[in-house]
Chains A and B, each alone.
Chain A
């Protein structure tokens, strides 16, 4: 048995023990989360090692529920102190804190039949992320940066390249006999070159690859070259005049739009009436070509887990199907508030109540190649970068800083920066007029190229 597996058994036992202690101390129900992780990261800049970081840490969180006449009082505590005194303090502190909380009629764990976890190998953990010796990891970062620097003499500087690896263990136990634990691994490589244009202005962009297994990482050379291509294409960017024009979201920025759909469908925003999607189940909320899915079950996915943060099995939820809002995304609390069932989308920190968290979230691919979408735009903006928060889910108001490439007669004409794009999220979803075939999971949220009509571009 590996050291990791032994540690897992010990932590699962510890989590179950803390649940039992909380019950003995007066809790009606209890939930315990333990997280343990190791991280390695190195950055290289201009060929030299800049930072080398290697460490591990762990923490434990306890949430207790005290039964009252009409609901529960709830509180939570967290700690990095695993000594018996530390655990004692964790338990007694949570109970004392819960006594001052209000009775919440909707609080409570899930139904016993809801708890469970996916069986089988979800391919989340690969020991090979730590297989490379430190010198090799540094060499990978160095190779990525060197490949970027070699592409063009206009690349004059570097914000560095990095190699990261991490493993984490998550343990969850509750007072309904659920005990689960899983480990996951992660590694990534990134490069961020800086180029200078004819006007003297600098541009920086980056590219990366991340994977659960080291063997799945893309080569450092391909990452460096792609980072350079993205940086160089922004040189000598201009502004454009204020106008309405079609906007193409590249996959990197379209992801953010899919994230906004998830947030708007999140049960807590819905029951508060704080979302443009509240009360719209069964209604058409997007173009009929739009289907948005959250799937926490995809083997090896960055958003995959055997169970959610409340001990419910991860699942696949179709949020929007052919433009129609089919489902909210829910944890136990939001589901109870809305008279629905949890979709297994609970997330949580060590302390605090569960919140809503996506698994592998994506907008389904369409038929058109990105090139075809580009050729269909006479004049418009291809957006490669968005800046600022600028999305109000209560009103749908959307306004963000943007940079990208101007499209003229279906082809890229010149780079654009220092403009904004604005619209209303509901109108934007209905005005998705083209969906690319280029859906790739580079992280837990993914989207293909999207064309959106009717947005306002503000510039000169």
Chain B
């Protein structure tokens, strides 16, 4: 693939200029330098009260220059891609180092990349009417679901991100990354009770994805179903109990409980509750967790990471034993471990860090029905809002948006929103059953770390935890 032509032709970038900038970046010494060019075109449509109230498009482009010297990183960026400004950014980033000039490796080696997602050649604003049709269909489907649905907001957003990375170690990589997402938010009202429901999905896909099974009607119906269900929800229970998590998005548990704690930077600095636990048991023997950047069309997938490294499937926990961390180039070099292709950044204005891609637990052997039947009194949580973790103490939360009581092995009343809390290195030790129904989320996840947001995926089969604290108000 030749994504680089985009930058070469549109912005007049040449290999000679890339080499000059890298040379300038290492003019005061340093171990490594890289250039990250990014161009993003984004569209978003928002239907509200059956009116297309918001329609916007944006373009941005820029380049970030990084110089690494030991454990020190210098960074500068510019949104002006002229040779003068690029060289000036390189000189600014170079201020981190102080020593004799280094020479970048002569000549570039292009990173080989798979084709995990479509790479549209045209600008995205060609099919606005098709996008508009999606949000209008979602609006109609949600209102049709139940007469108690009083408000519907449906949105469609996509972006096309082009990147080019050139580094002093000879790395040269480029990619074109589509990302699309539909979201539906509804309110249901019945007398005095009001409740909300949300749903959405997408991935590194083109608009055609939404004409399939996961289209506007699917997401609208899901949102409406959740809102109507919540109208009759009872207070969530409070305290420690057995918890069964449904397949798919509840995998956000893994993202918070173990994912962040296994990012290499935290472990290099020994600020993670998981530091020094490689080879040790951190979960029940039924638990195997991987991070996989190479799943076709998935929201968290990347042909190449934001440092030009190949992405891969990385085993994090194997049968309960901690096997490895997710690393970027800096952590890999300083820790003497392989780079796993997890170096990511929100934009050219940001320094890359180890980040997750698609993180999920492999399927087990239990029948999901048997898992529910085994619970005397507990919570069955099938959908969640976001979560958060303190990687140093290991404590994490995630908030259930659709959950039910389990009484004597039967799923009974829906409960109101409740936060679940646990301790990362301990909670997965309480996993006693793992279902055979692995599913990934619908493609809505966004992960924040140090102020940088990146799209991610999560997944999980039905899982039973013998113990977890549920933060409701009921008994």
* A interface with B by C-beta (< 8 Å): 45, 48-55, 57-59, 61, 74-81, 89, 93, 97-98, 100-104, 107, 134, 157, 159, 194, 201-204, 234, 237, 239, 242, 272-274, 350-353, 387-390, 392, 394-395, 397, 399-401, 403, 417-424, 456, 458-460
Q: What is the CA–CA distance of A79 and B42 in the complex, to the nearest angstrom?
A: 10
Q: Is the CB of B9 closer than 8 A to any CB of chain A?
A: no
CB neighbors of A among B345-394 (8 A): 349, 351, 385-390, 392-394
Do the beta carbons of B96 and A52 come within 8 Å of each other?
yes
Q: Contact check: which of A57, A78, A460 meets B59 at CB < 8 Å?
A: A78
- What residues on A are CB-neighbors of B74 within 8 Å? 51-53
Contact B77 A456 (CB under 8 A): no
Contact partners of B349 in chain A: CB under 8 A: 55, 57
Beyond A52-B96, A100-B52, A387-B396, 5 extra complex contacts between A and B, CB < 8 Å: A50-B72, A74-B54, A97-B128, A419-B471, A460-B469
Q: Which residues of A contact B351 (CB under 8 A)?
A: 51, 53
Give Cα distance in the complex from A242 to B418, angstroms: 15
CB distance from A350 to the nearest CB of B (A): 7
| A157 cross-chain contacts in B, Cβ below 8 A | 269-271
Whether A422 contacts B238 in the complex (CB less than 8 A), given A49-B96, A395-B416, comes out as yes
**A422 near B473 (CB under 8 angstroms)?**
yes
Which of A81, A203, A458 interacts with B239 by CB under 8 Å?
Answer: A458
Contact B92 A55 (CB under 8 A): yes
CA A460 – CA B238 in complex, angstroms?
10
Q: Please state if A100 and B273 are interface contacts (CB–CB under 8 Å).
A: no
Q: Is B335 an interface residue (CB 8 A)?
A: no
- Which B residues are CB-close (under 8 A) to A103? 51
Complex contact B238–A458 (CB within 8 A) = yes
Which residue in A134, A274, A390 is a CB contact (below 8 Å) of B151?
A274
Determine the distance from Cα of A98 to Cα of B54 in the docked complex, in whole angstroms. Answer: 9
Q: Which 7 A-B pairs have the closest CB atoms?
A: A420-B471, A401-B397, A242-B239, A78-B58, A204-B392, A388-B397, A351-B56
Per the bound structure, the CA–CA distance linking A352 and B428 in Å amounts to 42
User: In residues 93-148 of chain B, which contact A (Cβ within 8 Å)?
Assistant: 95-96, 125, 128-129, 132
Tell me whether A458 and B390 are in contact (CB under 8 A): no
Question: Which one, B55, B56, B421, contacts A419 given CB within 8 A?
Answer: B421
Alpha-carbon distance between A273 and B92 when the two chains are bound, in angstroms: 51
Q: How far is the CA of A48 from the CA of B70 in the complex (A)?
A: 10
Check if B56 sits within 8 Å of A77, measured CB to CB. yes
Q: Are B393 and A201 in contact (CB under 8 A)?
A: yes
- Provide the bound-state CA to CA distance between A98 and B395, in Å: 47
Contact of A74 among B55, B196, B419, B470 (CB under 8 A): B55
A sample of 21 inter-chain contacts (CB < 8 A) reads A45-B71, A53-B351, A55-B92, A74-B54, A75-B54, A80-B59, A97-B56, A202-B273, A272-B151, A273-B150, A351-B56, A387-B388, A388-B388, A388-B397, A390-B419, A397-B418, A399-B418, A401-B396, A417-B395, A420-B418, A420-B419
**In the complex, are the beta carbons of A394 and B187 less than 8 A apart?**
yes
Q: Does B61 contact A (CB under 8 A)?
A: yes
Q: Is the CB of A422 within 8 A of B392?
A: no
Residues of A within 8 A of B239 (CB): 242, 458-460
A419 CB to nearest B CB, Å? 7
Judge whether A351 and B471 touch: CB under 8 Å: no
| A421: min CB distance to chain B, Å | 7
| Contact status A45-B269, CB under 8 Å | yes
Indicate if the CB atoms of B72 and A52 lie closer than 8 Å: yes
* A268–B78 alpha-carbon span in the complex (Å): 36
Bound-complex Cα distance A97 to B92 (A) = 39
| Most interface-central of B52, B129, B230 (chain A CB within 10 A) | B52
Q: Is the CB of B194 closer than 8 A to any CB of chain A?
A: yes
Could you tell me the distance between the alpha carbons of A389 and B387 in the complex, rounded to whole angstroms? Answer: 7
| Complex partner residue of A400 from B44, B53, B128, B419, CB under 8 angstroms | B419
A388 touching B55, Cβ below 8 Å: no
Check B73 for interface membership: any CB of A closer than 8 A: yes
Task: List B residues 247-267 near A (Cβ within 8 Å).
Answer: none
A50 touches B71 (CB 8 A): yes
The answer to whether A389 and B386 have CB atoms under 8 Å apart is: yes
Say whether B283 faces chain A, with CB atoms less than 8 Å apart: no
Q: Known interface pairs A79-B58, A98-B55. Does A53 touch B75 (Cβ–Cβ under 8 Å)? A: yes
Say how far B107's CB is from chain A's closest CB, in angstroms. 29
Q: For the complex, is B89 an interface residue (Cβ under 8 Å from A)? A: yes
Q: Which residues of A contact B240 (CB under 8 A)?
A: 242, 458-460
CB-based nearest A residue for B50: A102
**Which residues of A have CB within 8 Å of B269?**
45, 157, 159
Asked if A352 contacts B44 (CB within 8 A), the reply is: yes
Q: How far is the CB of B226 from chain A (nearest CB, A)?
A: 12
Q: Report the bound CA distance from A459 to B240 in whole Å.
A: 7
Say yes or no: A403-B71 contact (C-beta < 8 A), given A100-B132, A134-B95, A351-B56.
Answer: no
| Chain A: CB-nearest residue to B415 | A397
Choose one: B57, B72, B95, B395; the contact of A387 (CB below 8 Å): B395
- Contact (Cβ within 8 A) B393 A202: yes
Of the candidates B52, B196, B389, which one forms a contact with A101 in the assembled complex, judged by CB atoms under 8 Å apart?
B52
Residue ID in chain A nearest B78 by CB atoms: A55
CA A97 to CA B44, docked complex, whole Å: 11
| A107 neighbours in B (Cβ, 8 Å) | 53
Given contacts A74-B55, A98-B55, A390-B417, contact A274 B196 (CB under 8 A): yes
Known: A273-B151, A274-B187, A395-B194. A204 touches B59 (CB 8 A): no
A58-B79, A394-B195 given; A104·B271 CB < 8 A? no
A98 and B56 CA atoms in complex are apart in Å by 9
Do B417 and A55 have beta carbons less than 8 Å apart? no
Once A55-B92, A420-B471 are accepted as A-B contacts, the answer to whether A104 and B51 lie under 8 Å apart by CB is yes
Q: Taking the complex as formed, is B172 at the interface, i.e. its CB lies under 8 A from any CB of chain A?
A: no
A100 touches B471 (CB 8 A): no
Q: Which residue of the partner chain, among B150, B389, B469, contacts A459 with CB atoms under 8 Å?
A: B469
Candidates B58, B77, B392, B473; contact of A202 at CB < 8 Å: B392
CB distance from A266 to the nearest CB of B (A): 14
Which residues from chain A contact B125 at a C-beta distance below 8 Å? 93, 97
Q: How far is the CB of A11 from chain B (nearest CB, A)?
A: 15
A355 to B337, CA, bound (A): 46
A92 to chain B: closest CB distance in Å? 11
- Are B187's CB and A273's CB within 8 A? yes
Smallest distance from the beta carbon of A83 to chain B beta carbons, Å? 10
Residue of B nearest to A201 (CB): B393
Chain A residues lying within 8 Å of B416, measured Cβ to Cβ, are: 392, 395, 397
B399 within 8 A of A: yes
- Closest CB in chain A relative to B93 CB, distance in Å: 8
Report the bound CA distance from A194 to B394 in whole Å.
13
A389 to B132, CA, bound (A): 31
Q: Which residue of A lies closest to B238 (CB)?
A: A458
Q: Is the CB of A392 within 8 A of B89?
A: no
Q: When the two chains form their complex, are residues B390 and A387 in contact, meaning their CB atoms are under 8 A apart?
A: yes
Give every chain B residue within 8 A of A203 (Cβ-Cβ): 392-393
Chain A residue numbers with a CB within 8 Å of B150 are 273
Find chain B residues with CB under 8 A from A201 CB. Answer: 273, 393-394
- CB B69 to nearest CB in A, in angstroms, measures 9
B422 at the interface (CB under 8 A from A): yes
CB of B184 within 8 Å of the partner chain: no
Q: List residues of chain B with CB within 8 A of the CB of A400.
A: 397, 419, 471
Chain A minimum-CB-distance residue to B150 = A273
Chain A residues lying within 8 Å of B417, measured Cβ to Cβ, are: 390, 392, 395, 397, 399
Contacting pair B469 A418 (CB below 8 A): yes
Interface of chain B residues 179 through 198 with chain A (CB within 8 A): 187, 189, 194-196
Report if B76 contacts A (CB, 8 A): yes
Contacts of B396 in A (CB 8 A): 387, 401
Per the bound structure, the CA–CA distance linking A54 and B390 in Å amounts to 28
Is B471 within 8 A of A57, CB to CB?
Answer: no
Determine if A77 and B62 form an interchain contact, defined as CB atoms under 8 angstroms apart.
no
Answer whether residue B37 sits at the interface, using C-beta atoms and an 8 A cutoff. no
A392 near B196 (CB under 8 angstroms)? yes
Is B462 interfacial (CB-CB < 8 Å)?
no
Contact pick for B421, options A53, A134, A420, CB 8 Å: A420
**B472 adjacent to chain A (CB < 8 Å):** yes
Q: How far is the CA of A419 from the CA of B470 in the complex (A)?
A: 9
